[in-house]
Each structure stands twice: as C-alpha cells, then as structure tokens.
Structure 1
Amino acid sequence: MGRDYNPVSLQPLYRAAEVRAMDRKAIDAAGIPGAELMRRAGAAAFAALRERWPEARTLSVLCGAGNNGGDGYVVARLAQAAGWDVRVYAATPPAQLKGDALGAYQAYRAAGGAVLEFVPADFEGAEILVDALFGTGLDRALEGAYAEVVRATHRFCGRIVALDVPSGLQADTGTVLGCAVKAELTVTFVALKRGLFTGEGLEYAGEVVLADLGVPPEVKRAVEPSALLLPPLVRGLPPRPRHAHKGMFGHVLVVGGDYGFSGAARMAAEAAARVGAGLVSVATRKEHASLLSVARPELMCHGVAGREEIQALLERATVVAVGPGLRRSGWAGMLLASALDSELPLVLDADGLNLLAARPTRSERWILTPHPGEAARLLGSSSAKIQQDRFAAAGELQARYGGVVVLKGSGTIIQGPQGQPRVCTAGNPGMASGGMGDILTGVIAGLLAQGLDPLEAATLGVCLHGTAGDRAARAGGERGLLASDLLEPLRQLVNQ
C-alpha cells in the first residue's frame, strides 16, 4: 500500500474571522452587496426549514442587533409572504440596528410585519423557533437579559433553527459561553465553522446545512482553512493481491493487560486483526497468556516478566501498541521503556500515556490517542481546560510530544506534524463505555502495520472506529453498546 493512498476526502473548516474575511472579499472584490448576502442567507434558511418541516406554518424569530438579527428579519419577511403565522421578538431594540440589518428590519416592517416585546411564553405556541440573536459575533459568556432569552429557548417544545451558529456557542472552539441555544438544525453561511463539529458544538448545532450564498469559489480559495472535516463514511483499504501472504500485512505487538485488565489487551489485539494486520501478538502477564490464547486462538499471547522476553517479541514486530490495560507499575514502565528503545512505530494509549506524562519525552514515530483527562495530564492542565479549546490542546500536544495526536471525544481531532487538524464527527454517546479506546488503539496499529503512514492510519482509524460504533448503535441501540460490538462492523467497513 503506497503512501499516496487517500482513504478519506476532507472538507475545509474555518474560524469565524476567516469567514468574515470571505464576506468582505465577496463584497469588495466580487461586488456582491452586503444586503444581497443577507437576503440570500435568509432565503437559504427559510428554504432549509421548509424542506425539513414541510407541514409547518407557524414561526417565531428571535432577532438580535447585528447581521444575524438582520438574517432573522429576512426569514420572517419571507415566511410572512408565504402565508405563515409569524411572530418576531426583538431581543435588542430595533432602534439600535444599523446598516444592512436595519434595512432588513425596515423591509420586514414595510411588508406589514410586527415586532413584539420579548415574552418567553409567547413563542412557545409556534412550530418553529429561529435563533437569530448572535451568530458568530459572540466572544464572551452570555449574561443578563440575553442569557434569560437563551434559557427560555430551552423550554420551547417545537423545532429550533439556528442561523449561522447557535447563539452562545463559540464558533471557533465549540465551547458553550455560559449558555447556548440548542438547535435541531443550523443553517450556516458561506463556509463551515469549525466549532460546529467538536466539543459541545455537535450537540448544540444539530444537523448542519451549509448555504454558500453564491460566494465565488476563488473568494474561498483565497482564505486558508484552519481545520479539515472528515466525512461520516469511509472507504476501506484496497483489495489484496492474489499472491498475498500474512507477512505482507505487518505484525502488531500489543503491550498491556496487567492483573485484572487482560480484556483490554485482547480487545486491542483483536481489533488490529479485524482490520487486517497479518500477525498480532500480545505481551502480557504470564498468568493471562494462556487464557487469552484460548479466548482468541488467532492471537499469539506471551507472558512477559523481564526485558529479555519483551525484547524477543519486539524484534519480530513491525508496530507496537502500548497501553491497553497496562496500568502504572515497575513492570509497565519496563515494557514502555523497551518499546521506546525499539525504534518501532508506536501507538500509545491509556496508561502508556499516563506513564509518558510522568516522564515526558518527544518522538516523531508515535501516535498518541488521549481522551481529555489523559491530555490534561500530558499538558499539566485540567480536562475542563482541554475542552475549552480542543484544537489548541491538540496542537499543543503535538508541539510538545511530536508525532500524530488523536484527541478523542465528541468531534475527535487528529493533529499531524504539518497541516491543519482533522475533525471526525462519527461516533455516538453509546461509545462512552469501557474498552472503546482499546479498540481504537488496535485499529490504528493494524492500519499502521499494513503500510499507511501515521497521519493516514490515525485518520482512517478514527473514521472506521466511529462509523463502526454508529452501525452497532443503529443495530441495537446506544445504551448497552459494548466495545466488542464494533469488531464485526469494523471488518465490514475495512473491506468495503
């Protein structure tokens, strides 16, 4: 498998400031008036909600003071013209409107539209509520009257549509600024904002629809994206040649499985085998080796007590996965140190990462796969701080430790040595259960063993893992989803 193998297509993501730069280029260089962009935004949003809920005929719109509020007035005017029962609530007095937003408000009023004083109970009678309060313009925690308006939306029993970005959600990081509107549909304009796809963004944005507003492609190409979005589905690895033999597909050594944790090592090893590694060995406690071989006879399981035994296994391996069920002990430290001395490609997870945090070092030949808690230990921070800006955390981890970093969580981020971070939205809350990280470790190690470079192995591995979880959840539900439920979907996906 060559280094030019590209298993996924990537879609650009941008910071809010970068999209504002596109808006300015569209106005100044492409000659599209700001008022026309606003009209197109409102029309796109109204078309999207009509397509999603074709039977609806009642609409409430919450309008703020800026251009996001202007977009809302356009939606209200179009809905009213289509015969809908429309109610507009101005969270900011219309007297404070300026520029294109003022023009949109005046056009709505000239068409006979009324603007009501905000009373939370009133809009609850509508089928659809449109959030046009802040969009991407918010950079501080909501408080006071605005926070009261946003919290009132949480009691709304109908459908909620956010324009551009749910109000209260930080467009660059996906962090909720105190409180935020929880939308079922977000119609975002010109280009995709990266905060919609990681952290709390996935939950608060709901389904995301992009309306490019007819901005010319050359305007977008002039602005470099700050992240790349991975697709929800992937294609598997290329077909194997007829003359294939197991030696062509690498030998993964999984290091872990301390007392009481042999299952973690087994799951990682089986995942590596299920995605196509030619051979898979396990280095574990002597008491576990024979039990693992009985449970999965295709695995070569070895009891390891000292350096000579692990060294013999490392000499036969092509990739090493360290961490599943490893724990933190002198035995574990010896195994990790031996793996580091081997100069083989490494995948580090779980206590492999915790041991690294205790004795930091840097390497370009490993893939680190921390969840936010492990990332916090690696950076001497806290999980809450990691979640405040997952993009920054992934970048700092890569800069400090080298290699490729996979920051797991809602909207997993993959950061390589060069280029933009990659974001994967596949996966579901059912995967918040023990063993899921062990499966991912094995998947990535199995792909590395088959010749993918580290960044592509991490990228495809994360996509396969999340998509397998989604397939397993569709088959039996999210609650009660087990890590081992992913093994059969993984085999199907890597062969498609």
Structure 2
Amino acid sequence: MSVVELDAAWRSANPLPSDDDGGETDKNSRGRVLSIGGCRQVPGALRLTAEAAFRVGAGKSLLATVPSAALMLGVLFPEAGVIALEEDESGEPVVAPDSPLHAALDHVDAAVVGPGMMDRAAAGRLVVAVAATPREGVSLVLDAAVCAASGALADMLAGYRDRLVLTPHGGEMAELCDCDAAAIKADPEGRALAVAAKFGAAVALKGTATLIAAPDGRLVRYAGGGIGLATGGSGDVLAGAIGGLLARGLPAFEATCWGVWLHGEAGRILAGKVGPVGFLANELLPELPGLLPR
C-alpha cells in the first residue's frame, strides 16, 4: 500500500476553500457545527470542540450537552448556542424522542458526536439516536467513546457514507475492530483502511504518527505535532477542527487531513513556545487561525 506524507505538496494539491466570495459571506454560509456530548464528570470538554470549529473558520457553533453543564457552557462560551439534553443517573447525555436535538440536526452542516463522554453504553445509545435518521447534507464526526462504541453500527451509519469521519486512538480502534491493541499496532495501515472501507468513512488513527485512511484506499501519514499533544482535551480540539472544516465544505477525507495537520502544527508551535510537554489543550485553540492559509 502507498502512504503519502501530509506535507506542503499534499496541502497545495488539496487547498482549503477560499474565504473570499466578494463580500457576500454570512455566518450561516460559513458553516454550522453542532457538537454533542460531554457529561457531568467532564463538563467542559465540549467547549474545546465547539471553539475549535470556530477557530478553523466555521460561522456558527452549537453545543448539545447534559443540563448540569449546559448553563455553565452557555456563560463560558457566549459565542455558541446551547441545547440541554436529558441526563442519565451517571451524568451522561440522553436523547429523548422529543429532544430539540432532532430539529437542530436538520439545520447544521456537520455534527461532532462524542467528545467528553465516558460511558460506552451511553455513547452507543447516542450514536444510534443521531444516526437513526440520516440527514442529507450533514456530515458526522464520531469521536472518543462514541467512536469506540460504533463497531457494530456500520449498517446504521450507512446513510452517512462518504460524509463520516472516525477519530480513534489505538485502544478505540481495537474496540472498533473487535481485536486487541497488539493487532492494531502490528498493522495500523491495514486496520485503518479496513475500517474506512467498512464504514465508508475517513479514519484518523491517532498516535505518534497519525494515519488518515479513505474508503477508496488513499492513505496519508502525519508524523508531526509532538508528544505534548498527548494530553487531556487534545482530541476534543481535533474533532472540532475536523467538524468545522466539514461545515465549510471540505469532503470528509480532506477535512480530516487538514484537521490533523492544523492540530499537529498548533502543538508544534506550542512546543516551541512552552516546551515539548506541559501546554494545555485549550492553548491549541488560539494557534489554529494563524495556521489557515491566507
């Protein structure tokens, strides 16, 4: 299999959409992103995802989370709208049949599902609730526990083929593939391509070097970023960046590659400013806009 490096040549051949449309842009046309997740134990994680979507150029960002976090996030992040979902006994989100989330999904361009969730069973129920009614024109990013819980849901997610992104680390990839972590480590390229083909998704297999696989067999590697990105909340930023780029109109594979590069380069910049480790995930956010091509 051929692996292409995510370098300047790749970025030049796969440019981001232009921001110059003769002055006719408004916040809706720049892309609308819905971030769904969070829990009582990790109430602030979803803010990282929603802000990352803004920081890569999306025009609107909406959060859907548990009531115990919704008001706090609305005050903390006044640029975003907030939907309060129901909450189960363990503090994980629940989507009721009459939830306003269903209507919100009809009015966004991309949804990022899973950041900040802890419980696999709750994550599985959430992805079923979101994916049960495919929305034409909406792209999905499945992250963290939701990604890991989706191994048996390829058929349900078929309505999002070619508009779907999975962002597992090695352990989550093992759950997706129903194997042990050693099998993923032994053949990360083959496993990433197999999952991409099964789901019709772009797959970002995160690690020291991140592999991005497409259903048609394309495979790109990004080896930058550094060890400092292995910190709490970093993956939430990556998921939001990918969601923002999807909302701006990039196809799933290209949005995933660009999101990985922007996230990694932000980490590289902070490693130079702060040190190789010790910077925080929220410090990645202000670095993202300056990395966007002008």
TM-score scaled to structure 1, two decimals? 0.52
> Which runs of 5 or more residues in structure 1 are unaligned?
1-224
Map 1:102-251 → 2, pairs under 5 A: 226-231=2-7, 237-241=17-21, 242-251=23-32
Task: State the distance in 2 between where 1:481 and 1:243 align.
Answer: 38
Structure 1 CA distance for aligned equivalents of residues 229 and 8 of structure 2: 16
Match of 2:57 among 256, 270, 276: 276
Aligned partner of 1:452 in structure 2 is 250
Distance 2:197 2:251 in 1: 19
Distance 2:30 2:108 in 1: 11
Displacement of 1:302: 1.2
Classify 1:359/1:420 alpha carbon distance in 2 versus 1 (closer, same or farther; 3 Å): closer
Offset of residue 355 of structure 1: 2.1
Tell me the equivalent position of 1:48.
none
Find the counterpart in structure 2 of residue 318 from structure 1: 109
SS at match of 1:294: helix
Quick check: which has more Rg, 1 or 2?
1
* Structure 1 pair 353–428 and aligned structure 2 pair: CA distance change class (3 A): same
Q: Contact conserved, 1:232 with 1:467, CA < 8 A, in 2?
A: no
Q: Counterpart of 1:388? A: 186
1:9-65 CA-partner distances (Å, limit 9, x unpaired):
xxxxxxxxxxxxxxxxxxxxxxxxxxxxxxxxxxxxxxxxxxxxxxxxxxxxxxxxx
**Structure with higher RCO (Cα < 8 A, 6+ apart):** 2
Structure 2 counterpart of 1:342, from 123, 134, 152 = 134
Displacement after TM superposition at 1:384 (Å): 2.0
**Counterpart Cα distance in 2 of 1:470 and 1:423:** 16
Which residue type is aligned with residue 272 of structure 2?
A: R
Residue matched to 2:197:
399
CA-based RMSD: 1.9
Tell me, in whole angstroms, the C-alpha distance in 2 between the residues paired with 1:232 and 1:430: 23
Q: 2:28 is paired with a residue of what secondary structure? A: helix
- 1:240 CA drift (Å): 3.0
Confirm or deny that 1:266 pairs with 2:64.
Answer: no
Asked if 1:472 is matched to 2:275, the reply is no
> What is the distance in 1 between the residues matched to 2:245 and 2:172?
23
SS at match of 1:368: strand
- Cα gap change, 1:292 to 1:453, in 2 (>3 Å): same
Question: Is the contact made by 1:256 and 1:262 (CA closer than 8 Å) also made in structure 2?
Answer: no
With over 3 angstroms needed to count, the CA separation of the structure-2 counterparts of 1:417 and 1:285, relative to structure 1, is same
**Following TM superposition, by how much is the alpha carbon of 1:481 offset from its aligned partner in structure 2, in angstroms?**
1.7
| Pair 1:370–1:486, CA change in 2 (3 A) | same
Matched-pair contact (CA < 8 Å) for 2:34–2:62 = yes
1:308 aligns to 2:98 (yes or no)? yes
Cα distance in 1 for residues equivalent to 2:123 and 2:152: 13
Q: Are the aligned partners of 1:349 and 1:441 in contact in 2 as well (CA < 8 Å)?
A: yes
- Pair 1:368 & 2:166 matched: yes
Aligned residues: 272
Shift, 1:359, TM fit: 4.5
Stretch of structure 1 that moved more, 332-341 or 396-405: 332-341
Helix, strand or coil at the partner of 1:423:
strand
Q: Which runs of 5+ in 2 are unaligned?
A: 87-95
Q: Deviations over 1:366-413 (max 9, x none)?
A: 100110100001111122221122111111211322211111112211
Residue 425 of structure 1 corresponds to which residue in structure 2? 223
The normalised TM-score by structure 2 is 0.86
After superposition, the Cα gap between the structure-2 partners of 1:332 and 1:370, relative to the gap in structure 1 and judged at 3 Å, is closer
Residue 228 of structure 1 and its aligned partner are, at CA, apart by 0.8
Q: Distance in 2 between matches of 1:404 and 1:415?
A: 6
Deviations 1:285-304 (CA, angstroms, capped at 9, x unpaired) = 01211100111110111101
Distance change (3 Å), C-alpha of 1:266 and 1:307: farther
Deviation at 1:331, TM superposition (A): 5.3
CA distance in 2 between counterparts of 1:383 and 1:270 reads 32
Distance of aligned partners of 1:381 and 1:226 in 2 relative to their CA distance in 1, 3 Å threshold: same
* Percent identical residues: 36
